[in-house]
Structure 1
C-alpha cells in the first residue's frame, strides 16, 4: 500500500504536433469568433483567447475591457496585419512578397506587439536567402529594424562582390543609414580611395543629409595625388576642406590606418576571429598553433597541388606572411593567392631554396581571400604558426627576395662543421630562407685566420667567393646577390673549440 505521505507520481504527456494545424482553420473565420478587428479598409474576425494567449499586447488590451467586441487597428496595413495574425494563430509567418514597404510594416507590427520570436525568425530566414539580387533591399530592412544577423550577412556579401568587381552603382539604392553602416566599418575590405568612389557615386544620386555618408571616408588616409586627381574633380568636397587635408598630409604624411583589419601592423588576419578555415591540407588545426615538435603542424600529400589552402573568411588586403617550417632538413615551397579559388597569383617562389624554421615573407600588397602553400617534400614537411598581416613596413625586395633589415645569422641557423685535422675548419651556415645580401661582418675570435668566405644561392648552385685571406675584424662588402648558404674556411683560434661556435655566431653579421 502506497505511503500517503509520499508525493503522487505524475505522468505528463504533451502532444504539440497538430496545434498549429488545428488552429489554422479558425484564422479569419467567424466560427466561434468573439471579437472583430477593424482595419483601415476592412473588418476581420478573431478569437479573444487566441489573441490573449499568443500575444502580450493583445492580452493587456483585452484585460482593460474583457467584454469588448471590437478592436480598432487603423494604422496597420491590412496585408501586414493579416500576416501577423496568421503567425499568432499558427506559429508560421508567410511573407507573400519581398516588397520593402510590406516587410517593413510586418516588422513594425512585430516590434509594436512585442513578438520578439517572430522578429528573430524573420531575421534568421532572411539572412539565409541573401543573394546578389536582394542584398541591398534586405540590408535596408536590416538597418531599419536593427536586425544584426541579417545586416552582417548582407555586409559580407557586399564586401565580396565589391572586392571582386569594383562596381559601385548597385549600392545607390541603399538608404543613407545603410550606406553609413556599410562604409564606417574598420573591416570594410577596400582601399580608402575606393571607399570615396562608393560614397561619391551614392551622393550623386541620393541626398546626403548632414554629409553623413561622405564623412565615412577617412580622407587623411588618402594620398596627395588621390585628393588632387580623384576627390577634387568630383566636387563632392569643398576646396577649403581639401586644402586643410593637403596641409595635414604635407606635415604628417598619409595616415597608416586602413580598414581591412584596422591597424596595418601587428594585426594577424588568419585567426578564428575572422572565421579563417582550411580548405585543403592535413592536420589543419595545427597550422595556426606554435610547435617545436617536427611531427606536429599541418602538411599535405606530396602530389597534392592544392597543398595547404587557407580561406581567410573574406577578401582582405595583405603583404606579409610568417610561418614556421618544422622539418630540420628544410624544404622549398611556393605560395599563391586567389580571390575565387580559380585564378591564382604567385607571391613567393622559394621552390629552389633551402628553407626551415621561421619564414618572413613580404610581397606586393595583395587583395585575396585564399592562400595556397605547396612544399617540395609534401607530407615530410610540417608547417605551424601561420600568420597573415598587412604590414606598414615592407623591406626592399628584388624578384620576391627580401633585403634583410636585421642580422639573418642567428642561433637557429643550421650549421655543419667539416674538420678532419682541426685546421682548416669549414663552417657551413644555412640561412633559414634566401636573402639579398651585400655585406658580411666578421670578428676573428673563433677563427685566427679566414682563408676564404663563399656564398651560394641554392643547394645546386656553385659557390662564389666574396673574400680571401682575412686576418683582422672586417666588414666585407660585395655586389648584392641572393644568398641561401655561406661557407667560411679558416684556422681555429688558439684555445677555441667547436663548442665555441655559439660565440662565433655573435661575431658574424650578414645583411
Structure 2
C-alpha cells in the first residue's frame, strides 16, 4: 500500500464518500476576505463570512441575511452582542466544517458556545456540547453550568448537574459558583429533597448568597430553609442573630419540631436513582439480627440450611427483627429482599423505616399474607436512615430468614392499591418466583414457562383429576389482581368447565370466576374486581373427553396485547365478560407432582 494516500473512511462498493475533503475545502473559506459578502463584529473583532453558507446551515441566519432587513444589504456589517469572540470563532468553524474542538477550551467559553448553539438553532451541536459538559463537571463549574442548562431547558445536562450537586452538596454550598447562581436556579437547587446537606449549612450558604445579591428578595430565599430540621441551639444562635427571619418564623419552627412526629418532618436525603445503597460501598450495615454478615454481601446463590442468611426469632410481641442502618439519610421507594426458599415454606413480615430508631413508619405490611423467595416491594418515597424487617410467621418453624436485602430509589412508575402493587406485566412467571404448588405435570412449572406453542398429548400442560384436587399457583408476594388468562388444552375438540378462586393465605378463598355451567375451549380471559391475591386455584369440573382437567398456560394479570397477537381476537368467547366475586370456599391443598403418568389423562 502506498503511504502517499491518506486513509479514508470505509464506504460500500459503488459509493464515494469525500465529506472530509468537502469539509476541509469549505473550511478554508472561513475568516477569509475572499468571496465574503457579510462581516460580523464581536468584541471589536471582525469576522468575514459568506451569506449562502450561513443560510444553508442555519435558519436563524437565513432569516437574518435574506429576510429583507438591514442585515440583508450587500457587504453589511453586523455587530453581535452577548457573546465572546472565542465562542463565535468556534461556532463559525462548526458552521463551515461541522467540527468543533471542546477539550482545550475553558468552561466559560464552552458555556458561551452552548448559548450560541441554542440561540442560533443547532440542536445536534447543543446536545454534543451538553454531553461533553456532563463529563467535566466539578465543584468549580457545576453551578454556572446548571444556571445555563436550566435557562435553556437542557434536560440531560440539568439532570447531571443536579445529581452531581446532590452528591457533593456541602462542597457546592461553599463554592464561589454558588454565590453567582441566578435566583431561580438557586431555589430549584435548595428546594430539592435530595440536596442533602445539613440545614445549618444551607442556611449559612443562603445568607452569604443574600449578602452577595443584595437586590434580590431575601424573604423568598429564606423560605427555602427547612427550619424545623434545625436544632434549638442552631435556631437561637445561628438563625436568630442573622435577622433574616422573623421571631415568629423561628417560634413556629420550634413548635413544629416539638409537636410533630419525627418521620413527618420534611427531611432531606441522598438520592442515587436505580442503585442499591444497602451496600458496604455506601456505608450500610446490619445492626440488629443474627448472622449479620450474610445479609449485605451480595451473594444470592450460596445458601442452605446452615449458612448464607440472616435471621431472627419470631415472637408474639414482634420485639425481634433485622435492622439495617444506611450510610446516611436516603430517599428510597423500592426494596428487594430474598426470603430463604430452599424448600416450599412461606413467610409473613412487615417493614418499617425511621430516621432516629424511635419513630417508625410502616411502609410494607405483609403480616397477613404468605410470601416466598424474592420480594419486589414499592412504596411512596421516604427519607430514612434505618430499615427494620420483622418476620411474623414461618409456615415451618418460628424463625425468620432473609438471604439478601437491597434498597434504592427507582424512577420506574408503579401503582399501589391498599399498599399492594397493581401489576401491569404478568407476575405468574418463574422469573418472578411464582410456582405451581398443586397439580400434575411432566415439568414442575410448565404452566408458567410462557410456552404456548409446544404442547401435545404427552407434555406441555398441567392437570388434575376431576373431583379431586386442583391446580394452584403461588405468587411470590401479594398483588392486586383483576384479570387472569388461561390456555386450556385444545389439541382436539373437547371443552371444559371450571371455576377459579384466589386467596392470600390458603385458608380463605374468594371465587372470581364461575364457569361450571359453561363449555370453554382454548384461550380464556377472566376479569373481575381487583383484589389481593397470593394464591390462585383453578378447579376443573367437567371435560367432555375424560375425567381430567388440563391447562397449558396461566398468567395474571391478563396480557391483552399478547392475547391479540396470539389469537387475533380482542376477546375470547365467554372469556372477556365481567364476573362477580363469589362467596368464600374452603381450601384443599396437596403437593405438586411431576409424573409421566399424566400422559394417560389425555
Q: Give the TM-score normalised by the residue count of structure 1.
A: 0.52
- 1:50-61 matches, cutoff 5 A: 50-61=53-64
Partner secondary structure for residue 209 of structure 1: coil
Change in CA separation of 1:279 and 1:90 when aligned onto 2, cut-off 3 Å? farther
The answer to whether the 8 A contact 1:80-1:106 is kept is yes
Partner secondary structure for residue 330 of structure 2: strand
The answer to whether the 8 A contact 2:338-2:374 is kept is yes
Q: Does 1:327 align with 2:341?
A: yes
Partners in 1 of 2:276 and 2:332 — Cα distance?
17
Partners in 1 of 2:19 and 2:54 — Cα distance?
19
Partner secondary structure for residue 105 of structure 2: coil
The answer to whether the 8 A contact 2:336-2:374 is kept is no
The answer to whether the 8 A contact 2:349-2:392 is kept is no
The count of aligned residue pairs is: 338
> In the alignment, which residue of structure 1 is the partner of 2:248?
240
The answer to whether the 8 A contact 1:36-1:44 is kept is yes
Q: Does 1:154 align with 2:161?
A: yes
> In the alignment, which residue of structure 2 is the partner of 1:175?
181
**1:170-220 C-alpha deviation (Å, 9 max, x unpaired):** 564441333222111233234545533443344455437112432222335
Change in CA separation of 1:388 and 1:200 when aligned onto 2, cut-off 3 Å? farther
Q: Cα distance, 1:40 vs. partner?
A: 5.0
Partner secondary structure for residue 213 of structure 1: helix
The answer to whether the 8 A contact 1:37-1:73 is kept is yes
Partners in 1 of 2:150 and 2:383 — Cα distance?
34
> In the alignment, which residue of structure 1 is the partner of 2:376?
385
> In the alignment, which residue of structure 2 is the partner of 1:189?
196
Q: Cα distance, 1:18 vs. partner?
A: 3.3
- 1:217-296 matches, cutoff 5 A: 217-222=225-230, 224=232, 226-247=234-255, 256-260=264-268, 274-276=273-275
Partners in 2 of 1:238 and 1:44 — Cα distance?
56
Q: Does 1:41 align with 2:38?
A: no
Partner secondary structure for residue 127 of structure 1: helix
The answer to whether the 8 A contact 1:224-1:246 is kept is yes
> In the alignment, which residue of structure 2 is the partner of 1:215?
223
Partners in 2 of 1:114 and 1:183 — Cα distance?
31
The answer to whether the 8 A contact 1:86-1:93 is kept is yes
> In the alignment, which residue of structure 1 is the partner of 2:413?
none
Partners in 1 of 2:45 and 2:382 — Cα distance?
64
Q: Does 1:29 align with 2:20?
A: no
Partner secondary structure for residue 44 of structure 1: strand
Change in CA separation of 1:226 and 1:361 when aligned onto 2, cut-off 3 Å? same
- 1:281-360 matches, cutoff 5 A: 299-301=300-302, 316=330, 323-328=337-342, 358=349, 360=351
Change in CA separation of 1:130 and 1:300 when aligned onto 2, cut-off 3 Å? farther
Q: Cα distance, 1:51 vs. partner?
A: 1.1
**1:277-311 C-alpha deviation (Å, 9 max, x unpaired):** 59999xxxxxxxxxxxxxxx9715579x9999x9x
Partners in 1 of 2:121 and 2:302 — Cα distance?
56
Partners in 1 of 2:186 and 2:308 — Cα distance?
38
**1:38-84 C-alpha deviation (Å, 9 max, x unpaired):** 44513332222211111112222232356612231242543332222
**1:405-436 C-alpha deviation (Å, 9 max, x unpaired):** xxx654xx234xxxxxxxxxxxxx414269xx
Partners in 2 of 1:254 and 1:401 — Cα distance?
16
Partner secondary structure for residue 72 of structure 1: strand
Partners in 2 of 1:23 and 1:315 — Cα distance?
57
Change in CA separation of 1:279 and 1:25 when aligned onto 2, cut-off 3 Å? farther
Partners in 2 of 1:225 and 1:329 — Cα distance?
56
Q: Does 1:84 align with 2:91?
A: yes
Change in CA separation of 1:33 and 1:314 when aligned onto 2, cut-off 3 Å? farther
> In the alignment, which residue of structure 2 is the partner of 1:122?
129
Change in CA separation of 1:173 and 1:19 when aligned onto 2, cut-off 3 Å? farther
> In the alignment, which residue of structure 1 is the partner of 2:500?
none
Q: Does 1:20 align with 2:20?
A: no
Q: Does 1:72 align with 2:55?
A: no
**1:437-494 C-alpha deviation (Å, 9 max, x unpaired):** xxxxxxxxxxxxxxxxxxxxxxxxxxxxxxxxxxxxxxxxxxxxxxxxxxxxxxxxxx
Change in CA separation of 1:322 and 1:185 when aligned onto 2, cut-off 3 Å? same
Q: Give the TM-score normalised by the residue count of structure 2.
A: 0.45
Partner secondary structure for residue 19 of structure 2: coil
Q: Does 1:138 align with 2:145?
A: yes
Tell me the C-alpha RMSD between the 2 structures. Answer: 5.1
Partner secondary structure for residue 50 of structure 1: helix
Q: Does 1:93 align with 2:100?
A: yes
The answer to whether the 8 A contact 1:231-1:237 is kept is yes
Partners in 1 of 2:202 and 2:91 — Cα distance?
40
Partners in 2 of 1:33 and 1:392 — Cα distance?
62
The answer to whether the 8 A contact 2:228-2:257 is kept is yes
Q: Tell me, which stretches of 5 or more residues in structure 2 are unaligned? A: 1-13, 281-297, 311-323, 358-371, 403-505, 509-602
Partner secondary structure for residue 53 of structure 1: helix
The answer to whether the 8 A contact 2:229-2:265 is kept is yes
Partners in 1 of 2:214 and 2:308 — Cα distance?
48
Q: Cα distance, 1:150 vs. partner?
A: 2.1
